Amino acid sequence: MKKLMVAVLGVAALGFVSVPAVQAQQAEVSQAIKELTDFPANGMRTTVDLNARGGADVGQMDKAAGLLADALSKTSDANAKRQLELAVAYAKAREHKEARLMAQGALYYLCQSGGGAGCEDVPKYGSYVAP
């Protein structure tokens, strides 16, 4: 009986440890998606802040590729890992929209593996909406 209780408590403790890790990965992927997002031009040729750097900027793509690679090294979900690999490859190839779509797919899978709470707000794979 004691062995069963220790096993149950161990599994419960492992579950509590993995949820913050998944949330940290979600935060990294969300930040990468934000970095890869173009600023709205509001029908004009310029954005509101001329000094801000948008998703098509090479530096932003490199920053997002680093964030995505960091999240890739920490994840264990197979679907999220596949999406993150593609997102990193696209970001390194300087294709920011494709990288953003793959990162959104990875974020959805990370949300599903983290318990599913709030997943309805996460854009699904293939949707190109501003976060």
Residue 96's pLDDT is: 87
Under 8 Å CB-to-CB from 104, ≥6 apart: which residues? 33, 122, 123, 124, 125, 127
Angle at 100 between CA 48 and CA 41, to 5 degrees: 20
Q: Is residue 22 in a domain?
A: no
For 4-63, how does the pLDDT look when each residue is reduced to its tens digit (9 = 90+)? 454 544 544 444 445 677 788 888 888 888 888 776 656 555 556 667 777 677 888 899
- Give percent above pLDDT 70 in the chain: 64
Q: What is the pLDDT of residue 131?
A: 43
- Is 13 part of a structural domain of the chain? no
43 part of a folded domain? no
105 is a domain residue: yes
Domain count, the chain: 1
CA angle at 66 for the pair 115 and 40, rounded to the nearest 5°:
80
Residue 90 scores a pLDDT above 50: yes
Range of the domain at 75: 29-35+50-131
With respect to residue 24, please indicate whether it lies within any of the assigned structural domains. Answer: no
| C-alpha distances out from residue 29 to 9, 71, 131, Å | 31, 7, 11
pLDDT band (50, 70, 90) for residue 87: very high
